[in-house]
Structure 1
Amino acid sequence: MDPSDMFFRLLASLCLVLLWSANASAGVIEGVGAKKLEVVDPVEQKPMDAVVFFPSPDQTDVSSIGPYEVDVSRSAPIGDDRYPLIMLSHGSMGSMWGHHDLASSLARQGYMVVSVTHVGDNFQDTSRISTAGAIYGRAMQISAALTATLDDPVLALHIDRERIGFVGFSAGGTTGLILAGAKPDLSRLVGYCAKRPDDRHVCEARGRIGVEGAELGASADARIRSFVLLAPLSVLFPTEGLKSVAAPISVYVGEKDEELSPDDNALALARDMQSEIRVEVVPNAGHFTFLAPCSPQMRDAVPAICADPPGVDRVELHRTINAEIAAFFTRTLAVAVP
């Protein structure tokens, strides 16, 4: 046998042994823990709510947190391994618990997830909505939360800093694209709303964006390597503004989305994007289908975001999509081995 062939075979065998050893020593994940994260809003220098979901070796059950039934325990310890990190951005007027089932699902599959409540654009505080400060500030808030997580003396020991991803819903999709390097043209919303004045949550101001916070500008974050966008508000981005985006992107959009036009948003994004992008149109799904399945308390309090079009089983659909999102991150955040 050629000596060089023997060397490469031995090297390959050694790599397999090391890979097996790493898998064998990986801690068993039995549940999901949660920890409050201290974050300061970089725009107004005020505290910002954030929560970290993480894999735990302890078995955990469902906890009632406000109107949500969350698969998490706030007393569970964190596992011993290092985990990829996913940043999670809610839609306009949402909260850090709006996608709790996705966060818990990812944690059970070996991810750490940080979910924030965006200051100035959440269910309790709408002071920045329809302003440039809300659009640009959201991206800055995610970057601030990411830095706070990496600087946390406990969490930092368990994060794989080379494997960081992002999930954003609706306006959170705008946030993700800015973080990926896209440049929005805020004036595009006026033309969009002239065609679709009934898009209530986007076009209440007829597409006019207040100039407050315009000086912040778009700020990409190169630490984030992969993006998942759920029913994204992406009409703000012209083709020219997407040229700097190089990260892989996976998009889900509902066929029956009546809040945001799929053709003008997610599907147009797919046509204009030059980097790797995967788009799935979910049959019969509406805009709010991508929010976590509702508890009975949620259905009573906000039935509009809990009702799905006929033929949609939100629980089963989320089970499928959550698994696909984990698989997407596993592939796109894989660390290349020399």
Structure 2
Amino acid sequence: MKAQPVSGPHRTTAWLAALAFAGLGLLLAAPARAATGLTELPGLAGDGPVTVFYPSSASEQPLRRGPFTLNLAPQGEPVRGNGRLVVISHGSGGNPWVHADLASALVEAGFVVAVPQHRGDHTGAFTDPGPTSWQRRPGEVSRAIDALAQSPRFAAWLALDRVGVYGGSAGGHTALTLAGGRWSAARFRDHCEAHIAEDFSSCVGFTTRLRGNVLDPIKLALARAVIRWRFDDASWQSHHDPRIQAAVASVPFAADFDMDSLRVPRIALGLVVAGRDVNQVPRFHVGAVRAACGPCVVIADLPEASHGAMLSPLPPFPPGSLEHDLLGDPPGFDRAMLPEVDRQIAGFFLRHLPAAP
């Protein structure tokens, strides 16, 4: 039987099938997604190590780091991405591994990601949290950029005229400083004098909580006395690094900032908000930045999230522990949304740090 030309709806169906087949062929021909490589560089000027995540041609494998099993390619051969660097400033007592999911999303978007260890305020040494660390952190970020610039393995792959910074909690404080904000230890003291009962964890850290019992007045009195004694320096703290051109501040400590300095940040500034944050109560911190900063972009507003929402993977906090109370997921928060939040953060950096030529 002689074949008949395809016409009418059958012709349309055949055309769609051909298009789908061609699209499948292109998909199969496309290069595979780069793996997330992992290495560590020595810090400069006595700093701790800089953990680096990067696009790699090697295969990922399960890798144990602390309580986490992560799929990474340790010491894998680097491949070219988009030529841009994002530095992640971890939170108080933090480490690179609680940001591994965000780092992998950034690597998938083409970025190299560097995580400096903040001296005296990381998992292995929690001796100088708060204003003492906040004063050092921006310089540690700048030197992490220098470490990548001096690395034979990465210098040729990166253009460091436009660098991004992501920070959460104390790292968010770092991001706000690098965006042009100025702050002082005395403003930290003044905030705690006025609002310590409402924002207790911000003022005392991960040591204790108010429990509504007879010990609360003692905790408040002791905390106020220590804060008055330690934090009376009214000099403004700031840090300018012209290479940094975009920043994301996630659930930042921000009550000690001069909000006028953040009304028009010197760079693109994105925010991540957690509505049920009891560690940095939003109205004193990220909410105040949001109200002051006209150009700021709210990348994610997560009304059911706690302070630890963007820690991903989340550490296995024991139920009932202080860490679980302050950082654990509240009932009703769905972590399945986090990969999309990570992609939105990567998209923010892609818009403001265009690929290097």
* TM-score, with length taken from structure 2: 0.77
AA at the equivalent of 1:117: Q
Please give the secondary structure, in 2, of the residue aligned with 1:319: helix
Given the alignment, which residue of 32, 37, 44 partners 1:33? Answer: 37
Residue of structure 2 in register with 1:254 after alignment: 274
In structure 2, do the counterparts of structure 1 residues 60 and 243 end up closer, same or farther at CA, with 3 Å as the change threshold? same
SS in 2 for 1:121: coil
Contact 1:130 1:210 survives alignment (8 Å): no
Closer/same/farther in 2, CA of residues 47 and 237 from structure 1, 3 Å limit: closer
Q: Which residue of 1 aligns with 2:98?
A: 98
- Please state how far the C-alpha of 1:28 moved relative to its aligned partner: 5.0
Match of residue 74 from structure 1: 74
Change (3 A) 1:248 1:216: closer
Partners in 1 of 2:50 and 2:259 — Cα distance? 33
Alignment-mate amino acid for residue 254 of structure 1: A
Per-residue CA deviation, residues 213-272 of structure 1 (Å, 9 max, x unaligned), is 998942121101111111011111122332562211111111111111111111210121
Partner SS for 1:225: strand
Mean CA deviation greater in 201-210 or 226-235: 201-210
Percent of matched pairs sharing the same residue = 28
Q: Which amino acid aligns with 1:33?
A: G
Unaligned runs of 5+ in 2: 1-29, 205-222
Question: Deviation string for 1:93-125 (max 9, x for gaps)?
Answer: 112222111111211221100012200112222
Is the 8 Å Cα contact of residues 171 and 233 (structure 1) preserved in structure 2?
yes
Alignment of 1:276-295 (within 5 A): 276-278=296-298, 280-294=300-314
Query: Aligned pair in 2 of structure 1 residues 210, 274: CA closer, same or farther (>3 Å)?
Result: farther
Structure 2 equivalent of residue 311 of structure 1 = 332
Q: TM-score, normalised by structure 1?
A: 0.81
Name the CA distance, whole Å, in 2 between partners of 1:253 and 1:278. Answer: 8
Matched residues in 2 for 1:158 and 1:27: separation? 19
Q: Which runs of 4+ in 1 moved over 6 A?
A: 212-216
Match of 2:48 in 1: 48
The offset of 1:306, in angstroms, is 6.2
Query: In structure 2, what is the equivalent of residue 189 of structure 1?
Result: 188
Among 260, 268, 276, which residue is 1:240 paired with?
260
Rg (Cα) greater in structure: 2
**Does structure 2 retain, via aligned residues, the 8 Å contact 1:27–1:57?**
no
Equivalent AA in structure 2 for residue 161 of structure 1: L
Q: Aligned pair count?
A: 305
C-alpha distance in structure 2 between counterparts of 1:277 and 1:319, whole Å: 19
